[in-house]
Amino acid sequence: MVYRSRSVGNVTVHPVALFSILDHFLRRRKDEDRVIGTLLGSRSDNTVEIKSSFAVPYKESAEQFEVDFEYLKAMFDLHQKVNPREIIVGWYSTGSDLNSYSALLQNFFSDHTAPVQAVHLLVGTAAQKGSDLGVKAFVSAPVGVTPRSENCVFVPVPCELRFHQTERNGLELLLNASKSPNNTSSRTHELAAMEKTLQSVIEMIDRVLGYVKQVVSGEVEGNEKIGRALLDALNETTDGSGLEKGQQLDVLFNSHLQDTLMVSYLASLVRSQVEVSTRLALVV
């Protein structure tokens, strides 16, 4: 195995990639205990961002492990036509443990991620008491005097879930559906979503105020990291001239509210015109 000079210090995963992996696991063949696939994303310094993934067919037995590399290449070429900026950053597998074939797969994907180490994402799918759930990220390091493809150790690296605001809205919608009796959730209106977001912000501010009061009164011991985060948030409320940004926020909020109301009014007007046109067409 050829090990690369540029190491990976942090891994971020987008929800779309996780959902694709879980969907692949749910659609696996009955004789498969796990599934594997390719991770796509981008690299920046020592951080790897996993944005999407696709499945890779394979055959596994006690004697050999066979992967359909032609299918992998065809799928990657097809993906490049849609998202040319996303490259291969590693591979994934489901389960809670690594096996003897993990090093061979790591060696193969390392050749496609040069000069950066390939990331192996291990997704736990067990739902039993006492089992490990979650996502783990690994990179490989050589072992032995003469490095070989089957001689390596997997080193864990920090892994976190990252999502954009649009993805956050989708996750909240799925979370609401999981809490409902029939596992369904209707799409909320933009005004209702805005109201819900404001209520969430108010609740977070109340929690922060309660924490600050407890620290000031001596009920709890202050945390330096939380204090720095609150100070940075307060600094964001003023610009370089010392002017408060509260008025600017009010103006932006009112402008957005007016735009939302205007869009709702125009949509209602268009629906009315369509209904009138349909009825006139029937009369004529």
- In order of 50, 87, 144, 253, the CA distances from 71 in angstroms are 21, 16, 33, 50
* Gap between the Cα atoms of 105 and 118, Å rounded: 10
* pLDDT for position 243: 44
Residue 50 has pLDDT above 90, yes or no: yes
* Gap between the Cα atoms of 32 and 22, Å rounded: 14
* pLDDT for position 54: 93
SS3 at position 162: coil
Domains along the chain with CATH numbers? 10-161 (3.40.140.10), 189-283 (no CATH)
* Gap between the Cα atoms of 151 and 154, Å rounded: 10
Q: What is the mean pLDDT of the chain?
A: 80
Most confident by average pLDDT, 12-21, 135-144, 149-158, 243-252: 12-21
* pLDDT for position 31: 80
Most confident by average pLDDT, 45-59, 141-155, 182-196: 45-59
Mean pLDDT of 218-239: 79
CA 248 to chain centre: 32
Rg (CA), the chain: 26
Mean pLDDT of 250-277: 80
